[in-house]
């Protein structure tokens, strides 16, 4: 029977981008493939290369880290930079010794117990600054049952490279928002942080200029607590070459189920990494090299139709000042009126209603007050 790598590709994509597939076809394929995740930029920070093995379809969707590998990156000047394993399958560079530079050319080398792998030599291309990251209010329907217009938020990016050197773009982002509990409790104000989980790319090579206008980065519904107090998004822009753009576009098609998840064969999503002992043995993932352009915006606006996210919190009212069984274990106070006549306390069975650190951090981000 002819074996297919398609099931393993599907699972590896699930691991990388979180797509959910319910149908599990029968297969006799049990071969594990190396999955490589890594990027080198011009930022002064540690770089991470993650190595794992894909698991056969039908088994638990858990990445199987590759331990004990030797991971190095070399540049066009002959320097060798060692990546140290800090966690199983996670290899990190020394930020004091290695930082990518625009115009530099880099090659990734991986040595496992039995095999060695080499990436194509990748040049770090410059990335133009973004012209603007901005948002617009979006009307959701007409009005809700209270007669209030419901509004969401659409975030866009505009960018342009007059030199026409950057024709293929990719973006990702980190979003942070403040949320507040509507009760006088010690941990009332917190912040949440989340990273983008979608593939955001644009090809301008088909136009006569490398311009991107009103590219939709992120839509925020008014049913999210992101818009309730204050929100920030940090956008990263990358410059791609044509082959890497092709790689991300095909992954996007698979993750978005464009044309059917099984319409793309694994060999059509080419990695830039090969197995030296067997060049025909597929490797999943891509070694990316790009300079980064960043821009952060803050949103502190009023959006119509945001619901009360804590309407379920008040559970019971206890009159008097007597002892409350299992207090701060399975019961929490969210309204303490012991000075009233008669004294009473409102309790909840939900800890997140009395302590915002259940869902976030009470440590204010260092950049937060920059966007007052």
* pLDDT value of position 287: 96
Q: What sign for the dihedral angle of Cα 347, 350, 353, 357?
A: positive
Instruction: Give the other-Cβ count within 10 Å of 95's Cβ.
Output: 12
Residues 6+ apart with CB under 8 A from 223: 307
pLDDT of residue 206: 86
Q: What is the structure's pLDDT at 175?
A: 98
What is the pTM for the complete model shown? 0.83
Domain map (residue ranges) of the chain: 6-125+241-290, 130-238, 316-363
pLDDT at 12: 45
pLDDT for residue 269: 80
Q: What is the pLDDT of residue 367?
A: 96
Bridge partners (DSSP) of residue 84 are: 92
Within 8 A by CB and 6+ apart from 246, the residues are: 270
245 φ, ψ (degrees, to nearest 5): -60, -40
The 10s digit of each residue's pLDDT in 32-67 is 889 899 999 999 999 999 999 875 444 444 568 999
- pLDDT value of position 21: 39
Question: Residues 81, 77, 43, 194: is their CA dihedral positive or negative?
Answer: negative
Structure confidence at residue 268 (pLDDT) = 57
Looking at residue 30, what is its pLDDT?
A: 57
**What is the distance between the alpha carbons of residues 91 and 82, in angstroms, rounded to a whole number?**
9
Taking CA atoms, 348 is separated from 52, 154, 212, 312, 317, in Å, by 43, 35, 50, 9, 9
Query: In which residue ranges of the chain is pLDDT below 70?
Result: 1-30, 55-63, 144, 255-268
């Amino acid at each position: 029977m002819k074996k297919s790598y398609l099931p393993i590709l599907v699972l590896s994509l699930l691991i990388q981008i979180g797509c959910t597939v319910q149908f599990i076809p029968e297969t006799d394929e049990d071969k594990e493939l190396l999955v490589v995740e890594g990027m080198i930029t011009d930022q002064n920070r540690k770089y991470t290369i993650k190595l794992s093995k894909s698991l056969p379809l039908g088994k638990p969707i858990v990445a199987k880290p590759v331990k004990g590998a030797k991971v190095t990156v070399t540049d066009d000047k002959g320097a060798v930079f060692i990546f140290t394993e800090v966690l199983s399958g996670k290899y990190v560079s020394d930020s004091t010794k290695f930082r990518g530079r625009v115009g530099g050319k880099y090659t990734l080398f991986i040595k496992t117990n039995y095999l060695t792998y080499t990436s194509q030599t990748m040049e770090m291309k410059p990335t133009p600054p973004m012209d603007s990251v901005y948002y617009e209010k979006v009307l959701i329907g007409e009005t809700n049952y209270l007669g209030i217009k419901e509004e969401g938020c659409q975030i866009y990016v505009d960018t342009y490279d007059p030199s026409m050197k950057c024709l293929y773009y990719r973006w990702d982002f980190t979003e942070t928002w403040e949320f507040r509990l509507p009760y006088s409790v010690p941990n009332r104000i917190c912040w949440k942080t989340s990273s983008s989980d979608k593939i955001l790319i644009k090809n301008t090579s088909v136009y006569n200029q490398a311009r991107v206008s009103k590219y939709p980065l992120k839509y925020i519904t008014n049913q999210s607590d992101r818009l309730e107090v204050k929100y920030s998004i940090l956008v990263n822009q990358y410059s791609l070459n044509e082959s890497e753009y092709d790689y991300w576009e095909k992954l996007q098609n698979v993750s978005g189920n464009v044309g059917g998840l099984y319409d793309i064969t694994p060999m059509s999503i080419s990695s830039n990494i090969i197995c030296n002992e067997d060049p025909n043995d597929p490797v999943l993932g891509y070694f990316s090299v790009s300079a980064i352009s960043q821009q952060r915006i803050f949103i502190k606006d009023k959006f119509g139709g945001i619901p009360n996210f804590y309407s379920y919190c008040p559970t019971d009212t206890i009159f008097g000042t007597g002892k409350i069984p299992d207090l701060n274990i399975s019961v929490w106070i969210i309204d303490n009126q012991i000075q009233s006549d008669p004294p009473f306390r409102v309790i909840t069975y939900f800890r997140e209603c009395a302590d915002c650190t259940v869902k976030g951090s009470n440590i204010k981000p260092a950049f937060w007050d920059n966007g007052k």
